[in-house]
Amino acid sequence: MGSLARITGCGMSDELVVAHGLRKGYGAGERRVEVLWGLDLAVAHGEMLAVVGPSGVGKSTLLHLLGLLDRPDAGELRLFGIDVAALSVDERARWRNRRIGFVFQFHALLPEFTLEENVAMPLLIAGEGHSTAFAAAAELIEEVGLGPRRSHFPDELSGGEQQRGSVARALVAKPELLLADEPTGNLDATNAEHLFGVLRQLHLSRRLTSVIVTHNEALAGRCGRTLRLTGATVEEACSKT
């Protein structure tokens, strides 16, 4: 198959993410499945990009490559102006801890820790002092509307509250890039709308660059741009809102 068309920001420049010819597949021989066929992509600083498409076309795979959770089989990926192929294992881990925030469909909050402890965890792992980590956690917990719930354990929170807690945890280290994989996929319509509003507010207030994988076409349409993966082809559209 031919490579996917180059996709750039809608009227934007100063790119934070640049990919050329990204290819990724799984398996070997006759059982090998090609997922990404040669993707070219540019995401500008401050952009909110939605990635949509049917299951199996590579949406989550793309997010894992951008988040340094996996490596492409071929192609070049530059984040923050740096070719990530040159990063050591330790450098990739530091970037995941400090420069990139992750939100997944399931909150993955640790059940034995309170919400505040969960949110502070990335900073504690990075070596920040207890007071600094917990002050930053408290600030973000307030921002996502969970101030009164900070001492609660995950199983004492609703599904929407758990997911807002995971957003706070993703952003506590003040990353530049937010990657969200179906963040509203496990929520009802009301909580999905609430969560998207929180993501949008934090995207703007913290000047994030955000890439959001979603099956929710309505929410995708409220991002600045939508990238639609359909196997060996790709389409993009800018929001009119």
Domain boundaries, the chain: 45-68+84-238
Per-residue confidence at 8, pLDDT binned at 50, 70, 90? Answer: very low
The model's pLDDT over 144-194, given as tens digits with 9 standing for 90+, comes to 999 999 999 999 999 999 999 999 999 999 999 999 999 988 888 998 999
User: 159-171 and 130-143 are packed helices; what angle lies between their axes, rounded to 10 degrees?
Assistant: 130
The average pLDDT across 98-120 equals 92
Per-residue confidence at 229, pLDDT binned at 50, 70, 90? Answer: confident
Per-residue confidence at 13, pLDDT binned at 50, 70, 90? Answer: low
> Can you tell me the distance from the alpha carbon of 140 to that of 119, in angstroms, rounded to the nearest whole number?
8
The average pLDDT across 100-116 equals 91
Burial class (CB in 10 A: 0-12, 13-18, 19+), 72: buried
CATH class entry, domain 45-68+84-238: alpha beta
Higher-confidence residue of 241 and 171: namely 171
- Residue 113 confidence (pLDDT) above 90: yes
The average pLDDT across 32-48 equals 91
Per-residue confidence at 56, pLDDT binned at 50, 70, 90? Answer: confident
Higher-confidence residue of 234 and 9: namely 234
Range name among 28-37, 142-151, 208-217, 226-235 with the lowest pLDDT average: 226-235
Going by C-beta distance under 8 Å and a sequence separation of 6 or more, which residues neighbour residue 145? 164, 198
The model's pLDDT over 21-39, given as tens digits with 9 standing for 90+, comes to 999 988 888 788 888 888 9
The pLDDT value recorded for residue 108 is 85
The pLDDT value recorded for residue 31 is 82
- Residue 105 confidence (pLDDT) above 60: yes
Q: Name the average pLDDT for the chain.
A: 88
DSSP conformational letter for 7: B
Residue 24, classed as helix, strand or coil, is strand
